């Protein structure tokens, strides 16, 4: 798509080129390394990786075998990260022991205290939702963009001090790992599975169903929900039982 507008370095916003082709549906786009994944004619899943500037990875511009093999290794690493993340998303949810270890306070092998991550807690949901995106697979993430993304979700306040605390406890839980020698982090395989479980379970199961249990719902809305009807019936039976026990006492 080409628009009649001149875009320069001073133009505010973020711009990128995208070619729309009949029969090609884009699924994933990683902006840092420009790795695009899409369905080709509805038959095959294709992954393409483009490196704009080789110096971003410490590789020279000279055309030689050494630079070629180095660039190929970067591309293969990016494709492998994307494939591993998709495979982790398709794996079963963590077992009960792992879930309890994540949600409850624990200690590391070095004896360091690791606070628990409360399931359904607003700040934990915002943290995991901010990092589970595919755009963080290759470059990772650091504290400053994390603060901005958590604030953008609007579910919990975020400061630089809170970001440092969150990075420390997630690292001790084994959910993220540091990319040496930079101050950047990546989700581990376990961290991605936990993040997908927390975000999908809350967003697709708990949040919609909790709204159905709101006692302020109108009667016409209640009549259309089997869950709401069952919950109202349970509340009435519970109230009758409590009143009967009080009278007996």
Confidence label for 200 from pLDDT (cuts 50, 70 and 90): confident
Grouping H, G, I as helix, E, B as strand and the rest as coil, residue 193 is helix
Q: How far apart are CA 23 and CA 79, in angstroms?
A: 23
Taking the mean position of all CA atoms in its chain, how far away is CA 174?
16
Partnered with residue 177 across adjacent β-strands are 186
- Peptide bond preceding 170 in cis form (omega within 30 of 0): no
Radius of gyration of the chain (CA): 24
Q: How far apart are CA 79 and CA 138, in angstroms?
A: 9
Q: How far apart are CA 169 and CA 114, in angstroms?
A: 5
Ranking 31-40, 96-105, 179-188 by mean pLDDT, the lowest is 31-40
Confidence label for 3 from pLDDT (cuts 50, 70 and 90): low
Ranking 170-174, 181-185, 210-214 by mean pLDDT, the lowest is 210-214
- In this prediction, residue 56 carries a pLDDT of 73
Find out whether 37 and 45 touch, Cβ atoms under 8 Å: yes
pTM across the whole model:
0.59
Which carries the bigger pLDDT value, residue 204 or residue 100?
A: 100
Q: Give tens-digit pLDDT for 21-74.
A: 666 555 544 444 567 777 777 777 777 777 777 777 788 888 888 888 888 888
């Amino acid at each position: 798509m080409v628009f009649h507008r001149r875009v320069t370095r001073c133009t505010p916003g973020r711009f990128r080129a995208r070619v729309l082709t009949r029969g090609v549906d884009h699924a994933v786009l990683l902006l840092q390394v420009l790795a695009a994944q899409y369905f080709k004619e509805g038959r095959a899943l294709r992954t393409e990786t483009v490196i704009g500037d080789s110096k971003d990875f410490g590789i020279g511009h000279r055309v030689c075998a050494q630079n070629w093999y180095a660039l190929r290794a970067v591309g293969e690493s990016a494709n492998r990260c994307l494939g591993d993340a998709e495979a982790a998303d398709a794996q079963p949810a963590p077992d009960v022991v792992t879930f309890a270890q994540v949600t409850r306070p624990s200690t590391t092998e070095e004896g360091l205290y690791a606070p628990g991550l409360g399931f359904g807690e607003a700040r934990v949901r915002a943290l995991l939702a901010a990092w589970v995106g595919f755009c963080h697979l290759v470059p990772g993430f650091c504290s400053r963009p994390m603060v901005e993304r958590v604030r953008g979700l609007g579910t919990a306040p975020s400061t630089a001090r809170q970001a440092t605390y969150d990075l420390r406890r997630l690292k001790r839980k084994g959910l993220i790992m540091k990319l040496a020698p930079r101050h950047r982090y990546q989700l581990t395989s376990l961290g991605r599975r936990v993040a997908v479980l927390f975000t999908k379970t809350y967003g697709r199961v708990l949040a919609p169903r909790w709204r159905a249990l709101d006692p302020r719902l109108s009667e016409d809305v209640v009549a259309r929900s089997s869950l709401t009807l069952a919950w109202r019936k349970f509340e009435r039976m519970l109230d009758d039982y409590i009143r009967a026990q009080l009278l007996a006492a």
